[in-house]
Structure 1
Amino acid sequence: MTATVATRNSPSAPGAIERAIYRIHSLRARAERRTASFWGLIPFLVFIVLFLGVPVCGIVLSAFRVADVNEPGNYVPSLANFAASFRGASWDAMQNSLQISVIAALVGGIVGLALAQAILTTRSRKLTAVVTVLTSVLANSGGVPLAFSFIAAVGNAGIITGLLSLTDLGFTLYSSGGLILMYQYFLIPTMVMVVLPTLAGLRVEWKEAAASVGATSWQFWKKIALPITTPAILSGFVLLFGASFATHASAAALIGGGGVPLISLRIDSGLAGGNLAGQENVAMALGVNMIVVALIVLLIYMPLQKRSLKWFK
């Protein structure tokens, strides 16, 4: 009996040998797949290094360069550019950009969330499909055409401005409020695109189970639906904030270099010269500040997005 048990537990038993061979083949196949995936990523990594890594390194190095007063034409490493970016007009532009981005993200997030829920309430697959396509297009709209459209519609001489007498009400498109309004054109579709799959993933069984124990619709949303969807809602807000903060072309076409101080316009003015001639490296420091804000947004967004998906696997 003891010999039989020993034989069964022995590594030389036929079953153990087959399992070992199968495991070796599985590990080898997995290693081959990883190697193939790595070689397939090389063109993408080269692209990232050339068109993202090299420019970022150039921006960072330039941000730490300050002209040497003792030797004209030479530069020395210094934090003076960053110190200048946190005072005066540069700091005002940073604060204004952050404020506008937060307000625009809040408005777009609330309206987008309500719109997404309203679309799902119709229970129309065709409407959901059409909205999915439209949001993916509108979320990537912007630039000069978007600014021109708003100028033609709600500018000082716009069609809607004349019909509703918006000028008499004190509204002007060329202000912080005008920027926030224009940003909604792509922020609301972005929020719908982010939260629509999460809201659609709320299972009917969960609501039925809550109703079976006497829970009202409000209690279902408060106790079940809202805790599940909160990570997706927060990730949508963070994404909207990042999109607002980084917008340049639309804002530049709408308000130009004056009117509303924005960090993106401040960087543009610094690199273009003019009134800010000689401030190119300060503009680079502002660019580094924007990169830091973008990295913070990314670090917040990724875990929230990952957490929002765990309920719908």
Structure 2
Amino acid sequence: MTSQVTSAGPQANRLRVPRGTLGLLPFFGFTFVFLGIPLIGILVSSFRVPVVGAPGETAFGLDNFVLSVTGGQGEAILNSIQISLIAAVIGTVCGALLAQAIVTLNSERLDGVTKVLATVLANSGGISLAFSFIVVLGTVGILTQALPLEDWGFSLYSAQGLVLMYQYFLIPTMIMLFLPTLQGVKREWKEAAASLGAPSHQFWLRVGLPVVTPALLSGFVLLFGASFATHVSAAALIGGANFPLVTLKIAGLLTGGNSSGQENVAMALSVNMILVAAVTLAISLPLQKRSRRWLSSK
């Protein structure tokens, strides 16, 4: 009898569900309902194509994906990639330089204020952001009337305006991402390099840059993903302009009108965006993990 109880003990422990797992069940259920089910619906719809000669009937095929990368849809994808790359490069460089300046000043008050402002600005966007830029740099904006921006070839309602507007939240995001890494560069490393006669630029070239490069690349990839997925701000700024973006194209295909019957093409475009997001995460997460190794060794 004792042997039976003893043998049943380990089996009971293996079947016991951790309490923390039960607490996560509502989260998993919410995620499945509002993320998993819509994702499944998008995937299924993206493969449904109309049957020729049978109105109202559909079959599984790849026609929607072919249409999603040709014509206006293909142009929208290329425009989004181009703008996102340019905006991400500018945001990465400016954010990294500002983060380095904050670390160099070494002020606790400045560090605290910067983190608060960066958190707020990084999560700003939407119609209010586009409206603020229109007031300042629009056709009758304050700076537009004060400066000859049109003579300089600048127009807010163009790719230039989008790239400029994106910096409002991309640069603060980069500061948030990159500042902890710069703060993790140990002072002992700099002192050791200086004691060996290495100037500051040589330290950053040989030691500092290899340490911060994973975080730098990870920030660039995340900024690219944020720019690529931006919709509301871009729609409010250039929604009526003849400048297609992938997010605006999806919205146009779903609103009917001349694009009625192409909802499944919009779903295919959405799948393309999901793939871009997945690739972005697949590149960013290992880089973040490598960067955290240096921070954890502090």
TM-score range, shorter chain: over 0.9
Please tell me the root mean square deviation across aligned C-alpha atoms, in Å. Answer: 1.6
- The answer to whether the aligner puts 1:226 opposite 2:205 as a matched pair is no
Identity of aligned residues (%): 57
Tell me what 1:210 maps to. 193
3-state SS, counterpart of residue 251 of structure 1: helix
Distance of 1:183 and 1:273 partners within structure 2: 29
Tell me what 2:93 maps to. 110
- The answer to whether the aligner puts 1:64 opposite 2:64 as a matched pair is no
Distance of 1:74 and 1:257 partners within structure 2: 34
- The answer to whether the aligner puts 1:191 opposite 2:174 as a matched pair is yes
Write out per-residue CA displacement over residues 175-198 of structure 1, whole angstroms, 9 at most, x where no aligned residue: 001100000000000000000011
Equivalent residue letter for 1:266: K
1:156: how far off?
Answer: 1.1
Equivalence map 1:237-256=2 (5 Å): 237-256=220-239
1:274: how far off?
Answer: 1.9
1:124: how far off?
Answer: 0.6
Equivalent residue letter for 2:145: G
Larger Rg: 1
The equivalent position to 2:138 in structure 1, one of 126, 148, 155, is 155
The equivalent position to 1:124 in structure 2, one of 99, 102, 107, is 107
Equivalent residue letter for 2:203: F
Distance of 2:150 and 2:119 partners within structure 1: 33
Equivalent residue letter for 1:288: V
1:38: how far off?
Answer: 1.4
Tell me what 2:219 maps to. 236
Distance of 1:239 and 1:190 partners within structure 2: 9
- The answer to whether the aligner puts 1:73 opposite 2:56 as a matched pair is yes
- The answer to whether the aligner puts 1:271 opposite 2:272 as a matched pair is no
Q: Is the 8 A contact 1:156 1:167 kept in 2?
A: no
3-state SS, counterpart of residue 18 of structure 2: helix
1:41: how far off?
Answer: 1.5
Tell me what 2:268 maps to. 285
Q: Name whichever of 257-266 and 170-179 sits farther off.
A: 257-266
Tell me what 2:125 maps to. 142
Q: Is the 8 A contact 1:175 1:259 kept in 2?
A: no
Distance of 2:241 and 2:274 partners within structure 1: 23
Distance of 1:161 and 1:223 partners within structure 2: 45
Q: Is the 8 A contact 2:123 2:169 kept in 1?
A: yes
Write out per-residue CA displacement over residues 215-267 of structure 1, whole angstroms, 9 at most, x where no aligned residue: 11011101111101000000000010000000000000000143221000000
Distance of 2:228 and 2:20 partners within structure 1: 35
Distance of 2:206 and 2:31 partners within structure 1: 43
Unaligned runs of 5+ in 2: 1-8
Distance of 2:101 and 2:236 partners within structure 1: 34
Unaligned runs of 5+ in 1: 1-23
Q: Is the 8 A contact 2:157 2:241 kept in 1?
A: no
Tell me what 2:6 maps to. none
Q: Is the 8 A contact 1:174 1:259 kept in 2?
A: no
Compared CA separation, residues 311 and 31, structure 1 to 2 (3 A) = farther
- The answer to whether the aligner puts 1:39 opposite 2:22 as a matched pair is yes
Tell me what 2:287 maps to. 304
Q: Name whichever of 253-262 and 243-252 sits farther off.
A: 253-262
Q: Is the 8 A contact 1:147 1:251 kept in 2?
A: yes
Runs ≥4 residues deviating over 4 A: none
1:166: how far off?
Answer: 0.9
1:119: how far off?
Answer: 1.2
Write out per-residue CA displacement over residues 197-228 of structure 1, whole angstroms, 9 at most, x where no aligned residue: 11011111110011111111011101111101
TM-score, reference length from structure 2: 0.93
Q: Name whichever of 157-166 and 233-242 sits farther off.
A: 157-166
Equivalent residue letter for 1:241: F
1:31: how far off?
Answer: 9.4
Distance of 1:219 and 1:47 partners within structure 2: 51
